[in-house]
Amino acid sequence: MASVHESLYFNPMMTNGVVHANVFGIKDWVTPYKISVLVLLNEMFMSKRMTLLERRRLNKLILPLQQGPDLTLGQLLKTIDECCPKTAYAVKIRLYVMAGEELTDMESFFYGLLRPFGDLDSESCKTSVVGLFIRHMHLAYNKLSFSQVYKLYTALQHYCNGHCSPGPDGKPSLSASAIEDTDMELTNTEDTIEGKLEKEELHSAPLHDSELVNEDAPSRGPLSQKQAEYFLARQAYLLKNDENKALKPAALQEELNNMLKFNPDFAEAHYLSYLNSMRVQDIFISTHSLLHYFDRLILTGAEGKSNGDEGYGRSLRYAALNLAALHCRFGHYQQADLALQEAIRIAQESNDHVCLQHCLSWLYMLEQMKGSDSSVLTEDSVRMAAHFCLPYLASLGIQSLVQQGAIGGKAANKLMDALKDTDILHWKHSLSELIDISLAQTTSIWRMYGKSTMALQQAQLLLNMNSLEPVSFGVQQNNTEAFAVALFHLAELHAEQGLFGASAEILQHLKEQFPPHTKHAELWMLCDLKIQFERAMNDGKYHLAEPHVKAIAALNQTEGLYRKALVLKAQNQTTEAYKVLQQLQQHCEKTKCTEMIIRVMLSTAELHWESSGFATALPLLLQALALARQHHLQSLASETILHLAFSQLMLGIPEQALNILHEAIEPILAHGAVIHKGRALLLVAKCQIAMAGAPPGDHRRAALDMAVQTLDEAAAYFSRLGCKERLREVHYLQAQVHLSLGHVPERNKCTMLFRLLDQELPSSGASLITRL
């Protein structure tokens, strides 16, 4: 960690023990952009034809224009035009007239600035946002010397000429650097040698190179302190709550580099650069910016002023802690552990219990990421967080324990009671973010337990709940991981019910809300691929499902291996499929992934069916059923019962198969996917046909009539999914039953449908009657 300390102590702005002065504040006076804003305010005062809605829109626009960074004339006019086109045109004409006339026109404009207020001692002139801004500009203009007024007038001409096409005289416009020098000269009465040297140092020591930087972007002048703070606050808020409304990564990095060029000691800009580089998973730039943030925070004395001598050590502690979190994010567990141990050591030396508690929270999260059992550490973290009155960390610890309990097979009622207690804590302390996480976690737990109706309810509750977070910049908090998880579950639940159009709309919203470069994009990518894979498998088009296997494996190796085994099994490559399943089961036993272990057991049992080893599959299925019931996985338990019933049917005991089917049919019809409902009813029909018996009679006819009704229901479910392979099997059985009942027209219709599907689909290696 010596290199980390060296980076923290290094400050390129220190020479001979003297820190250069802050270069912010050089644009607090009059600029061409500020004149444009003044012209807008003047037009708003004088205009009498403006509608109430247009005036309201312009009033909401005033503060961002005053506090935000300088805009080009084209950008400014476009912004005004969206609110009131007539005012935008009037501002444009007024600026062109002012720039095209003599200097006296600009002077008369400033002398008449305060006329709309009437009395200069009025409260509106003294205290309103517009009044203070106009008074500030008026006083700043009066302080300018004659040469500075002329330079301001020249800058205004170039500002207007940069928007319109060159005039007939072909007069060239100034370069960006020249305009920047002009702006700086307007605010400095004398350009000292020290100022020139400082400017040369700033330009000769550029920031680090990055792929995020757009080298073709024009250079912009420095911002005022208020403009910079407003810009950083707005972009940080948008990155947290709605990333799509923030600047693109390259554009934002360009703005930050331009800002840091004029003030490399601006710590908040380094931190926003760290957040921006995390958007594109740039480990180098994110580490660099994070270290420089704490470097500047320490050397500028920001922490020391508010916390005394503790400020320096506090920054070092949290610098190491943030570095550990950064390495955790990128999967560098060894480096994260080293940084975390250093943070713990510094916190213990300073007796900082709050920092130690944060370190303990990251410690159990790091153990979870490594795949180790962290329940003891988590319980200690919750106990200590409650002792030091840290409800946020205590709630996070309880939610982590609930997640571990769900994976470990705890009963649902105990987990829901624990989440209910945390919800009380959240609402008591208005922890909006943790309320969202709790609802998303509840959705995932109900989904894992096979209660799709409850999962759907919790997801809808999260999406329709009003956030407790204050709304700033007109943006609600809707791009967090909790929202991504809820939408992910909604997309899969709709696809399971055959509502592929609704599922596609949800996925499209996810793609717009979480672009591919964002950290939560992996959720919708995996969801989209899984849905496409299932549709291809249901259609019997295994050649279309194969390409999705590699894409799924790139996002989730376990899911990719499982689906590779499914494709191999469907293509009758039994030996290869068995090897993949065995490899996957060994991996899941190490990672304690119970759900996948049960699915592997079910697929292995199906491989035994291919060689008519129905008796061999029974012990494996019983083991899977015991595991599913132990972990309260109702969906997987019902699916296992279907496999057991099918094995018993093929072993010649349809009565026993039908008896155990009654145990699984109710939860499947209530919470199961459409494919599982169809398979369950198809199996019930097979049992009813097998129990009808050979000798003719009323009992046989009644049993076959029931089988026809059951097959019709199964066909409706398979038709909703477009599952042609299953429909082919249903039509085959329908034709056989109608033939036994003597229904010739119905038999011919089902035979024709079977024939059409059989010609369209490739022939299956297994007999239709021996498939679940």
**256-289: per-residue pLDDT in tens?**
988 888 888 888 889 899 989 988 888 889 889 8
The H-or-E segment that residue 412 falls in is helix 412-429
How far, in Å, CA of 158 to CA of 89, rounded?
19
Average of per-residue pLDDT across 330-337: 89
CB 680 within 8 A of CB 667: no
β 18-19/14-15 pair status:
antiparallel
Which residues are paired to 18 by β-bridges? 15
Between 638 and 121, where is the model more confident? 638
How far, in Å, CA of 567 to CA of 144, rounded?
78
- For 597, residues 6+ apart whose C-beta sits below 8 A from its C-beta are 585, 588, 589, 627
Range 649-656, long-range pairs (CB < 8 A, 24+ positions) = 649/683, 649/686, 649/687, 649/690, 650/609, 650/614, 650/770, 651/614, 651/615, 654/686, 654/687, 654/690, 654/691, 655/691
- For 687, residues 6+ apart whose C-beta sits below 8 A from its C-beta are 645, 649, 654, 657, 658, 661
Between 201 and 634, where is the model more confident? 634
The H-or-E segment that residue 280 falls in is none
Tokens read off for 559: 């899911």
pLDDT, residue 771, reads 60
Average of per-residue pLDDT across 384-413: 87
In 3D, which of 155, 257, 252, 253 has the Cα closest to residue 202?
Answer: 257
Between 764 and 389, where is the model more confident? 389
Average of per-residue pLDDT across 469-478: 57
Q: How far is CA 171 from CA 103, 178, 417, in A?
A: 18, 15, 76
Tokens read off for 294: 């704490």
How far, in Å, CA of 749 to CA of 754, rounded?
9
pLDDT, residue 440, reads 92
Highest mean pLDDT among 45-49, 118-122, 244-248: 244-248
Least confident of 139-148, 196-205, 401-410, 569-578: 196-205
Average of per-residue pLDDT across 463-492: 75
How far, in Å, CA of 698 to CA of 677, rounded?
29
Which residues are paired to 472 by β-bridges? 475
| pLDDT higher than 50, residue 84 | yes
Task: Supply the angle between the helices 614-630 and 634-650 in degrees, to the nearest 10.
Answer: 160
pLDDT band (50, 70, 90) for residue 231 = confident
Q: Which amino acid type is present at position 416?
A: M
Distance linking the first and last C-alpha atoms of the chain = 59
Average of per-residue pLDDT across 225-242: 82
CB 119 within 8 A of CB 125: yes
How far, in Å, CA of 695 to CA of 639, rounded?
33
Between 643 and 307, where is the model more confident? 643
In 3D, which of 566, 628, 575 has the Cα closest to residue 597?
Answer: 628
pLDDT, residue 172, reads 35
How far, in Å, CA of 58 to CA of 589, rounded?
63
DSSP one-letter code for 96 = H
| pLDDT higher than 90, residue 530 | yes
In 3D, which of 745, 735, 743, 742 has the Cα closest to residue 768?
Answer: 735
User: pLDDT, tens digit, for every residue of 682-711?
Assistant: 999 999 888 877 666 777 888 888 989 999
pLDDT, residue 558, reads 92
Tokens read off for 125: 């002139």
| pLDDT higher than 90, residue 525 | yes
pLDDT, residue 53, reads 86
pLDDT, residue 164, reads 56
| Number of H-type helices and E-type strands within the chain | 38, 2
SS3 call for 14: strand
Where are the alpha helices (H) located in 611-697, listed in sequence order?
614-630, 634-650, 654-671, 674-691
Which residues are paired to 19 by β-bridges? 14
Counting Cα atoms < 13 Å in the Cβ hemisphere of 322 gives 20
How far, in Å, CA of 398 to CA of 345, rounded?
26
Average of per-residue pLDDT across 236-241: 83
User: pLDDT, tens digit, for every residue of 293-318?
Assistant: 888 877 765 444 444 445 566 778 88
Counting Cα atoms < 13 Å in the Cβ hemisphere of 687 gives 24
Highest mean pLDDT among 62-66, 467-471, 500-504: 500-504
| pLDDT higher than 90, residue 197 | no
How far, in Å, CA of 226 to CA of 609, rounded?
73
In 3D, which of 246, 333, 319, 275 has the Cα closest to residue 519?
Answer: 275
Mean pLDDT, the chain, integer = 79
pLDDT band (50, 70, 90) for residue 163 = low
Q: Which amino acid type is present at position 263?
A: N
Least confident of 210-214, 398-402, 723-727: 210-214
pLDDT, residue 30, reads 77
CB 694 within 8 A of CB 686: no
Which residues are paired to 612 by β-bridges? none
pLDDT band (50, 70, 90) for residue 201 = very low
How far, in Å, CA of 257 to CA of 255, rounded?
6
Q: Which amino acid type is present at position 430?
A: S
472 φ, ψ to 5°? Answer: -120, 150
pLDDT, residue 196, reads 37
The H-or-E segment that residue 653 falls in is none
pLDDT, residue 26, reads 33
| pLDDT higher than 80, residue 601 | yes
Highest mean pLDDT among 156-170, 293-307, 474-488: 474-488
Highest mean pLDDT among 291-300, 316-325, 376-385, 634-643: 634-643
